[in-house]
Amino acid sequence: MEAPREPHSVSLKVLRLSRPSLSQSGPPLPKHASATGIDSGKALDIPSGVDEEFCLSPIVQYCCRLHQTALADSPQLTLPPAFGQAYVGETFSCTLCANNELLGGTDRIINGLKIGADMQTPSGTVPLELTPEDDNSVNRQLGPGESLQRIVRFDLREEGNHVLAVSLSYSETTLSDGKAASSGRVRTFRKLYQFAAQPCLSVRTKVSDIPTAEPSSGTDPSSKPTRFALEAQLENMADGAILLEKVTFNTKAPFLSTSLNWDAGSQDGERKEAPTLVPRDVVQVAFLIEEQPQAKVSVPQREVKDGRTVLGQLSIRWRTAMGDSGFLTTGWLMTKKR
């Protein structure tokens, strides 16, 4: 029979770093069937002395819809329960805490502590950088009850299971009665922490050809620049509201894109505010994609794969209600096969 393993003198704790959320002092407002506001038949009674026309105006209704829990939120913050959700496009952060579990007056000392971590994703393993960097921790002695903390961050870019693997090694030295080292050993162990990354935004795209005018006589039809319309539906799959900061289309030469969204500006020069999406809300964005005329100098040829023209990639930036940022880039978007 194998002898029972001696417990380690150093323990490892992994804690996820995430922002708190606003606590609720009452039930949230119900979701409304209307896409633009509150159903007047189900709205709360309007207090006396308040202009009914003002309360039912589209702006007020729109604000109430975007902030469904505004009336139920309290100024207090709530810590996230347990691990919480991990979403693709956001940065996964956690702190690694190595604790010396020895009691005071022990005849053993701990030094040479090293912490390493890597992230196992569906496509491979990525080594992680720890902050602050280990400077003198190799020679530093960790006294009883003391701890060493490091922070790791990783940008989640894939859906599916992820495994955070943390390894820890340290030197354990036993002192004699004369406080001289009588024996020593190096001990190591490794722990695995598994979680699933879920999509924060669902992106559905559609590329359509825009008919061009008939070429004049004697003009080569192939020299006529081609235009496309890109439509994309963005659905919030997270459990909280998000603010779309920026949606851009990064074209592949020889194409150029023009935004047809809230950041394009109106005729009076004013720009609309970026949309806020509550869970399961959908917003549609569109871009006009035009090919540069081949007559221009040094215009590269379009890239074609399997009879489909490569247009570019859609990039999306957003922020959560508490300020966490997210970023997502789609794969290469192409035209229909010809």
Per DSSP, the three-state class of 109 is strand
pLDDT of residue 294: 64
How sure is the predictor about 259, in pLDDT bands with cuts at 50, 70 and 90? Answer: very high
**Does residue 156 register a pLDDT over 90?**
yes
Q: Please, are residues 229 and 208 in contact by the beta-carbon 8 Å criterion?
A: yes
pLDDT of residue 224: 52
More confident call, 285 vs 60: 285
Number of Cβ within 10 Å of residue 27's Cβ equals 9
pLDDT of residue 176: 75
Tokens representing 232 are 């994309």
Contacting residues for 283 by C-beta, under 8 A, at least 6 apart: 233, 234, 244, 275, 277
Alpha helices in the chain (DSSP H): 52-55, 58-66
Q: Please, are residues 260 and 286 in contact by the beta-carbon 8 Å criterion?
A: yes
Per-residue pLDDT tens over the stretch 194-207: 999 999 999 999 99
Which range in 128-142, 173-187, 193-207, 282-296 is most confidently predicted, on average pLDDT? 193-207
pLDDT of residue 42: 45
How sure is the predictor about 268, in pLDDT bands with cuts at 50, 70 and 90? Answer: low
Nearest to 240 by CA among 93, 68, 72: 68
Q: Please, are residues 164 and 15 in contact by the beta-carbon 8 Å criterion?
A: no
pLDDT of residue 77: 72
**Does residue 36 register a pLDDT over 50?**
no
Give the residue-averaged pLDDT of 308-320. Answer: 94
Task: State residue 48 phi and psi, 5-degree precision.
Answer: -65, 145
Contacting residues for 201 by C-beta, under 8 A, at least 6 apart: 89, 234, 235, 236, 237, 242, 316, 318, 326, 328
What's the whole-model pTM score?
A: 0.73
pLDDT of residue 40: 43
Contacting residues for 100 by C-beta, under 8 A, at least 6 apart: 9, 10, 110, 142, 143, 144, 145, 146, 147
pLDDT of residue 220: 53
How sure is the predictor about 216, in pLDDT bands with cuts at 50, 70 and 90? Answer: low
